[in-house]
Amino acid sequence: MKYLVLGSNSFSGASFINYLLDNEDDAEIFAISRSPEYKDSLLAYKNNPKQNKVKFFQLDINNDSQRVADLIFDNKIEYIINFAAQGMVAQSWDAPLEWFNTNTLSLVALLDKIYKFSFIKKFVQASTPEVYGNCNNIKESMTLLPSSPYAASKASADLILYSYFKTHGFPVNYTRASNVYGAYQQLYRIIPKTILMIKKNQKLQLHGGGKAMRSFIHIDDVCKATLKIAKEAKSGEIYHLSDTKTISIYDLVALICKKLGKNILDQIEITQDRVSQDSLYLMNSQKLLNEFNLAPQIKLSDGIDDVVRWIELNYEDIKDSPDYYIHKV
């Protein structure tokens, strides 16, 4: 099988490649990112003994849609998994056009070139629960109510993909995963950042006092579900990847502090909440369970231990890496 991973430098993209290497012996993997491959301590598949099976191409989907389409056509790539996106909610208000260019318009340009390729078996779009706004037992059929340019750009991408499916039969599926985490995640995300701040003996800014409720799902559970959906799901279907358990950000940070022998009150600084920050994510993932008998297997506590091990093993290499979001124009 031939797989193309768009956004291969992303946490989810690189982790999915790593999962393919471990679970698909016959996989031929093509990886695309606009940046050069990250260093080994920040990129999951670079530590896999089978990494030489990955063919990396530095291409920008904003400018290189024809080259990407040529790569797909020349190699008759059957499965395309799209993790490429401009993320971040608050920052999307600073340059909304850039978010729409990357998340929506570049996808339109690519789709226009590949939707007639009959050898494509599935295009999986890694969407986001942000498209719903506040999530409280949200099901896949619920109305899209985005509350930021980021969320609106992802919702727009989902809709244009659906139009190609509905009109031309383009084989698309969507995944919407809530608060994915694990080793090799971006250092500005809440779990690795909390661990790093504790190890550096610095205080963590807790937006809104950490009242927001979230359900977290480990990247390995996400990768397993994504591959299953790519190979077996009926085209046009959306799937939520989520745990049924929720936790406040405050309690999450407290759990990490306890694991590292610290008192949360000594480690945090309360700040104002972020703009367009949705207060609750509680997604209904019963559809994934019903159709594929898939439910998250990795407990949050065990997953946090996994992240701690990764950071401790690579601490000297990553301790001076930026632990804040850097916008790429």
| Cα distances (angstroms) measured from residue 255 to each of 42, 216, 251, 261, 303 | 24, 13, 6, 10, 12
Over 80: is that where the pLDDT of 11 sits? yes
Over 90: is that where the pLDDT of 279 sits? no
Span 201-255, pLDDT tens digits: 999 989 888 888 889 999 999 999 999 999 999 999 999 999 989 999 999 999 9
How confident is the model at residue 281, as a pLDDT? 66
How confident is the model at residue 280, as a pLDDT? 67
How confident is the model at residue 195, as a pLDDT? 97
Q: Which CATH architecture has domain 186-215+245-318?
A: Alpha-Beta Complex (3.90)
The model's pTM:
0.95
How confident is the model at residue 270, as a pLDDT? 87
Q: What is the mean pLDDT of the chain?
A: 94
Give the list of residues 6+ apart from residue 301 with CB closer than 8 angstroms, or none. 255, 259
Which CATH superfamily, name and number, covers 2-180+216-241? NAD(P)-binding Rossmann-like Domain (3.40.50.720)
How confident is the model at residue 26, as a pLDDT? 92
How confident is the model at residue 124, as a pLDDT? 98
How confident is the model at residue 300, as a pLDDT? 97
Domain with CATH 3.90.25.10 in the chain: 186-215+245-318
Per-residue pLDDT band for 178 (boundaries 50, 70, 90) equals confident
CA atoms within 13 A on the CB side of 211: 10
Domain with CATH 3.40.50.720 in the chain: 2-180+216-241
Over 80: is that where the pLDDT of 284 sits? yes
How confident is the model at residue 324, as a pLDDT? 81
Residue 57 β-bridge partners: 32
Span 122-173, pLDDT tens digits: 999 999 999 998 767 789 998 999 999 999 999 999 999 999 999 999 999 9
- The burial class, CB within 10 Å (0-12 / 13-18 / 19+), for 297 is exposed
